[in-house]
Amino acid sequence: MPKIKITLPDGGIREYKKGITAGEIAFDIGKRLGEDALIARINSKLKDLFVPINEDADLQIITYESKEGVEVFRHSTAHLLAHAVVELFPDTKPTIGPTVEEGFYYDFGIEHHFTPEDLVKIEQRMHEIVKKDCKVERIELSESEAKKLFKNNPFKIELIEEFHKEKQPISAYRQGDFIDLCRGPHIPNTGKIKAFKLTKIAAAYWRGDIKKQQLQRIYGISFPDKSHLEQYTKLLEEAEKRDHRKLGKELEWFNFFEESPGSPFFYPKGTIIYNQLINFVREEYSKRGYQEVVTPLLYEKTLWETSGHWEHFKEHMFLLESEGKEYALKPMNCPSHVLIYKSKSRSYKELPLRIADFAALHRNELSGVLTGLTRVRKMSQDDAHIFIAPNQIEEEIFRVLDFTHHIYNEVFDFEYKVELSTRPEKFMGKIEEWNKAEESLKKALEKKKIKYEIKQGEGAFYGPKIDFHIKDAIGRNWQLATIQLDFQLPERFDATYIGADNSKHSVVMIHRALLGSIERFLGILVEHYAGKLPLWLAPVQVRILTVADRFEKYANKIKEEFEKNNLRFEVDARTESVGYKVREAQHQKIPLILTVGEKEEQNKTVAVRTLDNKVYFDIKAEDLIGNILENIKEKKIKFGI
């Protein structure tokens, strides 16, 4: 029997018989790995464990510990869900079942409206299918075979025709009597899905298009064992308490309305927080050589064709027509900044040129994935584009990395990890330029001694990128800052500069957003701090409470001192008990609650209660104000006396 050589991630090489599967190799390496294995990466491509390997190959066994493993595991659970639904409701037309940030969903064409009681029945049926431990098989299909197999499902027929038109391979996966159209890969058997929960029901539209058929969507989450599910349930309970949508409404900071889905409405107090974040970034810009611009929201199709967005991003853009011409609301600022750059001849002496913009952006996200502030259709970013000469790449990347570290570590005290995302399957430009760009980012990270993971194929269509993922107070990870190196857009727009040799050279662009979407960052902050924002961000920083009516005059005297120092405060002189007024102020997450009564008036002091419920007595007002101003200036997370 011919032998093949399998190279493992640690560099070790093993010989096996031709036709062996990755699943068999996993068990040969170790029983635990074999049991945990979900899929495999064979020569950089994700494959099913049961695919025969017939030639020498690099092999990595993927488990639930990796992002790819989690995604495949949960997508396989979406198939399990569809399997159960079709058994219970035979007239159902399954459509698609992707993974999302918090699990997975599956959309169904069905006249019946799912109820919470249905979810219980569906979960029970899913457990029955898991117990059967159905073997999962991949089926390769021609267009005609696929159409015959899914002849009663118009949604699948539409997808099959698209795959055929785009010359993509057509495949399906079978588990028991259930077959679903899918690219794969999938886990090898349903018995691996030990723990899951169906979380909610929602309405959706086919392809996210309101003009198309309405569907029923079921969301869920899954794990390889019950302990993971129990941990998730506890996390869910804590996350529910911190939910920014709930807190934003209760605190009258922001809200959402059906008349403009995915577009937050910021109330006066929420607008203060929003503007404080922008002001913070603006202060940093003034120290770091950025120039702010204001750019339009609407552009002709020709701009997006030149930039490549029409080809690569059109489905995420809002399109409209005027006077026979096609337009789109901008989903990002880069092309408009290139227009500013190109508005005159540029010299190498002007570089780096750092252009910043807080313009509103619009992205046509599917209605089913909209999630409060963290997934929106309308947003603004702390967006900037830096135009540089090739010999300035490393130094400028250093500057942006330092800026990012300052924000996350020194201001907000977040833990973070870094990922480098490389060339995707669909990309613009030459591979040589991509290799050069990727190498530049690697060198910058390594010289700054920043640990990073490589995410193969997850770069933007125009260039590789560095992404920062922060961890919040309850352990959730969020992708925020992004730094992207781009040789393609300047070339497409013929953006150049005159070098020291008096000849034209192509400029290089760095795309960077450090907070990212202001809306998303604000939503994450609200949940991270459970609404108890640091003093410098809080819309009301201080509330002064009177013990009785007769102390209102003294309270107003202190108020005048706060006014002089531009602090945000309120006076509560209502004839309610102090306990009631304190509880109300705490419920509204006000950082500093001052109480004034007879003792405070006599001693010209205040009693101060902080967010951690500590109370300090006999504090001089002028000392407190000095402490507050210092805390705000330093942008400290906590306040202490």
What distance, in Å, lies between the first and last C-alpha atoms of the chain?
78
Q: Give the Cα separation of 641 and 634 in Å (integer).
A: 15
- Distance between alpha carbon 370 and the CA centroid of its chain, in Å? 11
Measured CA to CA in angstroms, residue 51 lies from 18, 21, 44, 191 at distances of 12, 6, 15, 19
186 belongs to the catalytic site: no
Structure tokens at 245: 């949508």
Candidates 83, 192, 354, 511; catalytic one: 511
Q: How many CA atoms lie within 13 A of 126 on its CB side?
A: 24
Residue 533 to residues 241, 245, 247, 291, 612: CA-CA distances in angstroms?
A: 15, 15, 12, 29, 12
**Which bin fits 262, alpha (ψ -120 to 50), beta or left (φ > 0)?**
left
The reply to whether 383 belongs to the active site is: yes
| 499/33 Cα distance (integer angstroms) | 57
**Which positions ≥6 away from 640 have C-beta within 8 Å?**
610
* CB burial readout 282-318, b (16+ within 10 A) else e: eebbeeeebeebebeeebebebbeebbbbebbeebbb
The one-letter amino acid code at 92 reads T
- Exactly one of 83, 216, 334, 357 is catalytic; name it: 334
Q: Where are the alpha helices (H) located in 184-267, listed in sequence order?
A: 226-242, 244-250
Residue 349 has what DSSP assignment? Answer: G
Which residues partner with 553 through β-bridges?
A: none
For residue 542, the SS3 value is strand
| Among candidate residues 44, 43, 41, 25, the one with its CA nearest the CA of residue 33 | 25
- 82 secondary structure, DSSP code: H
Catalytic, out of 337, 354, 385, 609: 385
Residue 357 appears among annotated catalytic residues: no
Distance CA(4)–CA(15), nearest Å, equals 6
Give per-residue burial for 376-414: e unless 16+ CB within 10 Å, then b.
Answer: bbbbbbbbbbbbbbeebbeebbebbbebbbebbeebbeb
Annotated catalytic residue: which of 74, 156, 337, 363?
363
* Pairwise CA distance, residues 89 & 113, whole Å: 11
Candidate list 75, 217, 362, 465, residue with the active-site label: 465
Whether 465 sits among the annotated catalytic residues: the reply is: yes
| Catalytic, out of 381, 484, 488, 588 | 381
Q: Respond yes or no: is residue 448 known to be catalytic.
A: no
Alpha carbon distance 166, 566 (integer Å): 61
Among residues 107, 382, 383, 572, the one annotated as catalytic is 383
Catalytically active residues are 334, 363, 381, 383, 385, 465, 511
